[in-house]
Amino acid sequence: MKDENCICVSVGKSVLYAQAGNYAKLTGFTTELTRPNKKGICYNILYTLIFGRFAYKKLYGLYTKTRQGGMPVRIAVCDDCMEDALYLRNLLRGQEVSIYSDAKSLLADVEDKNRRYDLYLLDIFMEDSLNGIELAKKLRMEQEEAVICFVSTSDDFYREAYDLYAVQYLIKPVREESVKELLQKVQKNLARRLHDKEKTLIYSWWGKRGAIPYDKIRYIGIRGHTLSICCTDGRVQESTGKLNDLERQICGDTFLRCHQSFIVNIYHVESMGSSDLTVAGERIPVSRRYYAEVKKRYQRMLFEAVE
């Protein structure tokens, strides 16, 4: 097998094709599966599946290491100054860079062709119907988790960048050190996203059990003894349980307790007020007991959530 990223999963002499195929699709690895040869060239990544649990951490660790070490980050550079765009591409050497000279072309690819990038580098001042700030707002509507970095000749739009959760704000001429720092943040963000897609919340309702990926959950509320899991597709899944038990189970990097009756996914928070959080247009209360920790975590998420 020539492709070094090709995965072959084996337990003893049998190859678990279905499981390996699912993991390969999730990670973006080559989905070609072959039986290991006598020399053991193929990777035996997942093993000991007898007890019904996939060894996710094994594959996740390999993916993270591979992604950070060799797989290029998909980047869209939108700048009407071709000289500046080419300069950025040179700083991003080794990555998969697409250059757009206007906002309309980028939006067409994102909206019509459903093209997605790991990072959007947007010039703010463009002689187009859309400037970088307006373009970022539209990208947010199409790709909620889009990682956006603004590039500008001034810091006049720093507040707008803050409101749009820009991961970084680069001043021209861009320094190579700043780009390296940005790429490190993006790579860690990609690893976190994969982590959240793999981690699931198990619910139980009227004798039926199911699982919802962490990244698909906006917030969780409780009324009486019924949990309401509010998802990104608009679905509200009810479940039996206690919020205190759930807090001990899931709260940490992604989920945060903000109120006696609510747990939120910090990466779906749109804004924070003096006593509430806005999540998908809904206002979630923040009690005094949790306010300081929520504010600290929210501020870190705005500019460091992808570190």
pLDDT digits (tens, 9 = 90+) for 274-284: 999 999 889 99
Q: What pLDDT sits at residue 264? A: 97
Query: What is the per-residue pLDDT for 164?
Result: 78
CA distance 59 to 67: 12
DSSP one-letter code for 129: S
Structure-model confidence comparison of residues 52 and 217, the more confident one = 217
Q: What angle do CA 37, 7, 46 make, to 5 degrees?
A: 95
Q: Confidence class of residue 33 from pLDDT cuts 50, 70 and 90?
A: very low
Contact by Cβ (8 Å): 280, 218: yes
What percent of the chain has pLDDT above 90? 49
Strand 262-265: give its sheet, edge to edge: 236-240, 226-231, 217-223, 262-265, 255-259
The amino acid sitting at 3 is D
Q: Give the mean model confidence (pLDDT) for residues 167-172.
A: 90
- Overall average pLDDT of the 92-112 stretch: 94
Q: End-to-end alpha-carbon separation of the chain, Å?
A: 35
∠ at Cα 54 (117, 202), nearest 5°? 80
pLDDT interval class at 272 (50, 70, 90):
very high
Question: How many residues appear in the chain?
Answer: 307
Nearest-angstrom CA–CA distance, 169 and 132: 12
In this prediction, residue 195 has a pLDDT band, given cuts at 50, 70 and 90, of low
pLDDT, mean of residues 61-76 = 59
Q: Can you tell me the distance from the alpha carbon of 194 to that of 215, in angstroms, rounded to the nearest whole number? A: 9
pLDDT value for 140 = 86
Amino acid identity, position 248: R
Identify the bridge partners of residue 203 per DSSP, sorted by sequence position.
210
What is the spatial distance between Cα 135 and Cα 129, in angstroms, rounded to a whole number?
Answer: 10
Q: State mean pLDDT over 233-251.
A: 93
Mean pLDDT computed over 152-180: 87
pLDDT of residue 303: 56
Which of 284, 179, 281 is CA-nearest to residue 228?
A: 284
- Give the type of residue at 231: C
- Phi/psi of residue 152, nearest 5 degrees: -150, 165
Mean of all residue pLDDT scores within the chain:
77
Maximum pairwise Cα distance, the chain: 64
Share of the chain above pLDDT 70, in %: 74
